[in-house]
A and B are shown apart, each in its own frame.
Chain A
Amino acid sequence: MDTLLSEKNRAVRRSVRSFCDEEVYPIAREIDREASFPWEVVEKMGKLGYFGVQVPKELGGAGLDTMSYVLVIEEISKACASLGLCVTVHNSVAVFPILTFGNEEQKRKWIPPLARGEKIGAFCLTEPNAGSDASAIEATAIRRGDRYTINANKVFVTNGGVADICLIFARTDPEAGAKGISVVVAERGTPGFVVGDLEDLCGMRANPVTSIRLYDCTVPLKNLVGKEGMGLKIGLAALDIGRTGIAAQAVGIAQAALEEAVKYSRQRRQFGVPIARHQAIAAMIADMATQVDAARLMVYRSATLRDRDKPFSQASAMAKLFASETSTKVTDMAVQIHGGYGYSRLYPVERYYRDARVTRIYEGTSEIHRMVISKGILGG
């Protein structure tokens, strides 16, 4: 599979892997346990360019390709899925929309601090009554003079507790249905911008997922990204690359689980031999490795298509669906191979099991992905 990677891609993977081995994996268990956000490590990651992987150099990023990007996300997620989540959401659904749909002034203002990780980005779409059906959002951004007045109740916001620059999906024209939805940037600290409590989640606990509420929060009209009414278009474009990122994350978690299972099955002895010598366990390892490989190839395909400027939406959706489902299967098998110890917090596989589960839910559930993919095949 390495033949699909350029030398630059491999150097990227090696550098991120080495950083994560030294700085990220050793704290992953503790920050999961304490549900704390590791600012010190995040600062280092910012200086190394992890928060602006595909941002052009002149705006302070690394200017790398999508393949490098998925390798970065896979490696971070392998060490700590919560941090992988922080980085993928920041890069794909916060930085990318500003970079693609923002004007020069917006890019110059917001991108450099985002690319250096000095400011963290968030994507605020989901509401209590609007998730899979994004067109049902109730948030409003009403134009009054030279400002928008935003009222919104956004939930399950990844990075919510630490985000400075939030892309708010809101109705600028409440009468226009799906065509009245726009993206407006709201910065933390603006009066009326309220960060809610941490969501008490089963996994991804080191990511400060919160609600974000805006109460008559006013922002300048120039905070509109793209044009009024472009909200869903921007959201879908962001999710296309976002899904490849989540797929890479799912592969990273699954790879971590596979490696732990291989290690444990060689150490643990039952009936006088390492359990890896029992056919049932060996077959599980074979299935895990095969599925992780297949998922990774789908991620690489999606990244390659995007790097070649080819349509990749369908490939991205398929990669996300397959990788997330693979990740939950593979982490489940890793727990099974560890037996009782797999269900204990003594070993990291229980964390992988909890972290993997949400990859089938966020940035589009598996069910929505099947809908998207089947539409691509059947039309309509």
Chain B
Amino acid sequence: MAMGSNKTIVCIKPVALSASGGAARSADSYELNPFDRPALEVALQMKEKRGSPVIVLAMGPEPSAFVLNEAMAMGADAGILLCDRALAGSDTLATSTALGTAIQNLRPFDLLLFGTRSSDSDTGHVGPQTAELLDLPLVTGVYSIDTLENGLRVERRIDDFREEYEVPFPAALTIQSGSVRPRDIGLLEMVPAFEEKELLTWRLKDLGLSPESVGEPGSATAVISLSKAQRARTCEFLTGSNEEQVDRLLSRLLASGLL
């Protein structure tokens, strides 16, 4: 994939819309992780400002390539799907291994962007781990960006603090989800996104990775069980006249310290 050396790579996660494991998955059942959309928006704004092409990279089963088409409909120039049976069961470390290897093949680039976390498993690991594997300077939770001659000045907001950093290219950033409003997907780029722009599928052999380094064997952690958390909630009906009910409600709220 020949593109300018000033390109931006955005890692996006296809997340399944329904958690029912047994259901047959079609393209429609994946969506672009909402927390990755701001990262894509930042890349598209950089493209408008600097003319830096945008490549979107995702890992998932075949039908999840749909989210790459959607990203291209938003304005990304090309997409790459890492897709191989051996990748199934990867934890965040194995995922970072696969993404990092793919990104290594895409050098040179200026910028590598991630969301801060995903809507289906809230770890926030993948961005920092991948940056570490690639030995890139990393700023997490980036809120705003100014372009410098050969790098960026970025503002990070975390825990009510604002920090400013200057990072040289190539750099990795995770983008705070509330920092920009991602653009709507319009119709004008639909035909190019599905019929003209390049969408590649890379298998494990294309990455030159062994099956042992990814999937369950390449993972440092394993999910032992997964179930829906039950929140204990009780509902109590107050009785009596309206006045009595209000009195009871007030005394209950006062006793609980809520008022």
- A contact residues vs B (CB 8 Å cutoff): 2, 6-8, 10-12, 14-16, 18-19, 44, 47-50, 53, 57, 61-64, 68, 72
How far, in Å, is A328 (CB) from chain B's closest CB? 30
Can you sample 19 A-B contacts with CB below 8 Å? A7-B66, A8-B69, A8-B191, A8-B193, A10-B66, A11-B66, A14-B28, A15-B70, A15-B73, A15-B186, A16-B187, A19-B185, A47-B186, A53-B187, A62-B186, A62-B187, A62-B188, A62-B191, A68-B190
Name the one of A7, A18, A68 contacting B187, with C-beta atoms under 8 angstroms: A68
How far, in Å, is A367 (CB) from chain B's closest CB? 35
Q: Does B159 contact A (CB under 8 A)?
A: no
How far, in Å, is B35 (CB) from chain A's closest CB? 16
Q: Give Cα A57–Cα B191 distance, bound, in whole angstroms.
A: 9
Q: Are B190 and A12 in contact (CB under 8 A)?
A: yes
Q: Does B169 contact A (CB under 8 A)?
A: no
Q: A48-B186, A68-B187 are in contact. List 5 more A-B contacts (CB 8 A).
A: A7-B69, A8-B193, A10-B28, A12-B187, A63-B191
- Residue among A8, A11, A16, A44 with max Cβ neighbours from chain B (10 Å): A11
Q: Does B147 contact A (CB under 8 A)?
A: no
Which of chain A's residues have a CB closer than 8 A to the CB of B27? Answer: 7, 10
| The 7 A-B residue pairs with the shortest CB-CB distance in the complex, in nearest-first order | A49-B187, A48-B186, A15-B185, A62-B187, A49-B188, A8-B194, A63-B191
How far, in Å, is B86 (CB) from chain A's closest CB? 25
Which of chain A's residues have a CB closer than 8 A to the CB of B26? Answer: 2
Q: Does B184 contact A (CB under 8 A)?
A: yes
How far, in Å, is A2 (CB) from chain B's closest CB? 7
Which of chain A's residues have a CB closer than 8 A to the CB of B70? Answer: 11, 14-15
**Chain B contact residues: over half helix, strand or loop, or mixed?**
helix
Q: Are A48 and B187 in contact (CB under 8 A)?
A: yes
Q: Are B188 and A11 in contact (CB under 8 A)?
A: no
* Residue on A nearest B191 in the bound complex, by CB: A63
How far, in Å, is A65 (CB) from chain B's closest CB? 9
Q: A2-B26, A2-B28 are in contact. Are A11 and B190 (CB under 8 A)?
A: yes
Which of chain A's residues have a CB closer than 8 A to the CB of B66? Answer: 7, 10-11
Which of chain B's residues have a CB closer than 8 A to the CB of A61? Answer: 188
Which of chain A's residues have a CB closer than 8 A to the CB of B193? Answer: 8, 11
Chain A proximity mask over B4-35: 1 for CB below 8 Å, otherwise 0: 00000000000000000000001110000000
Which of chain A's residues have a CB closer than 8 A to the CB of B195? Answer: 8
Which of chain B's residues have a CB closer than 8 A to the CB of A62? Answer: 186-188, 190-191
How far, in Å, is A1 (CB) from chain B's closest CB? 12
Q: How large is the interface on B (under 10, 10 to 19, 20 to 34, 35 or more residues)?
A: 10 to 19
Q: Give Cα A15–Cα B32 distance, bound, in whole angstroms.
A: 12
Q: Are B73 and A64 in contact (CB under 8 A)?
A: no
Q: Give Cα A10–Cα B190 distance, bound, in whole angstroms.
A: 11
Q: Are B194 and A44 in contact (CB under 8 A)?
A: no
Q: Give Cα A53–Cα B190 distance, bound, in whole angstroms.
A: 10
Which of chain B's residues have a CB closer than 8 A to the CB of A44? Answer: 184
Q: Are A18 and B185 in contact (CB under 8 A)?
A: yes
Q: Are A15 and B194 in contact (CB under 8 A)?
A: no
* Residue on B nearest A13 in the bound complex, by CB: B28
* Residue on A nearest B186 in the bound complex, by CB: A48
How far, in Å, is A4 (CB) from chain B's closest CB? 13
Q: Give Cα A61–Cα B186 distance, bound, in whole angstroms.
A: 11
Which of chain A's residues have a CB closer than 8 A to the CB of B194? Answer: 6-8, 11
Q: Are B187 and A8 in contact (CB under 8 A)?
A: no
Q: Are A64 and B190 in contact (CB under 8 A)?
A: yes
Which of chain B's residues have a CB closer than 8 A to the CB of A19? Answer: 184-185
* Residue on B nearest A51 in the bound complex, by CB: B187
Q: Give Cα A300–Cα B89 distance, bound, in whole angstroms.
A: 39
* Residue on A nearest B69 in the bound complex, by CB: A11
Q: Give Cα A49–Cα B191 distance, bound, in whole angstroms.
A: 12
Q: Give Cα A10–Cα B26 distance, bound, in whole angstroms.
A: 11
Q: Give Cα A2–Cα B193 distance, bound, in whole angstroms.
A: 20
Q: Give Cα A11–Cα B70 distance, bound, in whole angstroms.
A: 7
Q: A7-B27, A11-B66, A11-B70 are in contact. Are A64 and B191 (CB under 8 A)?
A: yes
Q: Are A72 and B69 in contact (CB under 8 A)?
A: no
Which of chain B's residues have a CB closer than 8 A to the CB of A16? Answer: 187
Which of chain B's residues have a CB closer than 8 A to the CB of A10? Answer: 27-28, 66
Which of chain A's residues have a CB closer than 8 A to the CB of B28? Answer: 2, 10, 14
Q: Give Cα A106–Cα B259 distance, bound, in whole angstroms.
A: 70
Which of chain A's residues have a CB closer than 8 A to the CB of B184? Answer: 15, 18-19, 44, 48
Chain A proximity mask over B60-85: 1 for CB below 8 Å, otherwise 0: 00000010011001000000000000
Which of chain B's residues have a CB closer than 8 A to the CB of A14? Answer: 28, 70, 185
How far, in Å, is A36 (CB) from chain B's closest CB? 22
How far, in Å, is B68 (CB) from chain A's closest CB? 11
Q: Give Cα A68–Cα B195 distance, bound, in whole angstroms.
A: 14
How far, in Å, is B195 (CB) from chain A's closest CB? 8
* Residue on A nearest B184 in the bound complex, by CB: A19
Q: Which residues in chain B, 187-211, are within 8 Å of chain A measured between CB atoms? A: 187-188, 190-191, 193-195
Q: Give Cα A11–Cα B73 distance, bound, in whole angstroms.
A: 9
How far, in Å, is B24 (CB) from chain A's closest CB? 12
Q: Give Cα A53–Cα B191 distance, bound, in whole angstroms.
A: 11
Which of chain B's residues have a CB closer than 8 A to the CB of A48? Answer: 184-188
Q: Give Cα A72–Cα B185 distance, bound, in whole angstroms.
A: 13
Q: Give Cα A62–Cα B191 distance, bound, in whole angstroms.
A: 7
Q: Are A11 and B191 in contact (CB under 8 A)?
A: no
Q: Give Cα A94–Cα B240 distance, bound, in whole angstroms.
A: 65
* Residue on B nearest A47 in the bound complex, by CB: B186
Q: Are A11 and B185 in contact (CB under 8 A)?
A: yes
How far, in Å, is A86 (CB) from chain B's closest CB? 16
Q: Give Cα A19–Cα B187 distance, bound, in whole angstroms.
A: 11
Q: Are A8 and B190 in contact (CB under 8 A)?
A: yes
How far, in Å, is B72 (CB) from chain A's closest CB? 10
